[in-house]
Amino acid sequence: MSYSRRLRNVAAVLTIALMVIWGWFLTSKEPVQAQPRPTAAITLDGRQLFEVSEAGQFSADNRAADANMILKQAVRSPETVNVEILESNQLPVIRVNGRHLLTVTSQDTPTGRTKQEQAQIWAQRIAEGIRQGQEERRLSYFWRAILLAILFVLAAFAVHQVLGWIWHYWLRRLVPREASHPDTGAQP
């Protein structure tokens, strides 16, 4: 094979390799997406209810911190909590026991949903979260959880005993004596 022929073959292989690599780079890049809005979670007893975005001069973290503090106080209250939606400056405002919790803005609503609909959804989640948190703080809930824990421990002990009995009386007979030493369990 002549030197020029080898050079052409190497050039062809390199050209094909470069085209494959170039094609891979062109197809593997992700499309440019808009930057997501910064959000912060509204939580109650460690459960995330929803997320809020920044609104005007208030950052998402500040809005969430204020709302989380109000929710924490409300869930500790023994009285029934009143969650309501009022209108202020053509924006729905969620109030808990008369205290301003959140103003729902257009940044908080997903596409295709109105601010009022979003406020209704959030108010429902807040009411359910507070009701559940208050229920979990009752003494009856505490005793029921202890009773369930004791029952599960007893059930696990009973299953352990039954499985041991099955091994000792049924399955052990199926294993040939030569397969394992009865005292040490060593195999030949």
CB-based contact 54:60 (threshold 8 Å): yes
Tell me if 60 is assigned to some domain.
yes
Q: How far apart are CA 65 and CA 4, in angstroms?
A: 74
Residue 150: the pLDDT is 96
Residue 185: the pLDDT is 63
Residues with Cβ within 8 Å of residue 65, at least 6 apart in sequence: 40
Write out pLDDT tens, residues 117-136: 999 999 999 999 999 999 98
Residue 127: the pLDDT is 92
Q: How far apart are CA 5 and CA 16, in angstroms?
A: 17
Residue 84: the pLDDT is 92
Output phi, psi for 17, to 5 deg.
Answer: -60, -45
Tell me if 116 is assigned to some domain.
yes
Tell me if 56 is assigned to some domain.
yes
- The domain tally of the chain equals 1
Long-range own/partner contacts, residues 164-169 (CB < 8 A, 24 or more apart): none
Tell me if 157 is assigned to some domain.
no
Output phi, psi for 180, to 5 deg.
Answer: -150, 150
Residue 151: the pLDDT is 96
Tell me the residue range of the domain where 88 lies. 39-136
Residue 125: the pLDDT is 93
Tell me if 65 is assigned to some domain.
yes
Tell me if 145 is assigned to some domain.
no
CB-based contact 125:94 (threshold 8 Å): no
Residues with Cβ within 8 Å of residue 44, at least 6 apart in sequence: 68, 71, 72, 75, 126, 129, 130, 133
Query: Within 10 A of 19 (CB to CB), how many other CB atoms are there?
Result: 10
Tell me if 109 is assigned to some domain.
yes
pLDDT values of the chain reduced to their tens digit, one per residue, 188 residues = 676 777 777 777 778 887 878 777 777 656 555 557 788 889 998 899 988 888 888 888 989 999 999 999 999 888 888 899 998 888 899 999 989 999 898 888 888 888 899 999 999 999 999 999 999 888 999 999 999 999 999 999 999 999 988 888 777 677 666 656 666 666 65
Write out pLDDT tens, residues 67-84: 999 999 999 888 888 899
Tell me if 89 is assigned to some domain.
yes
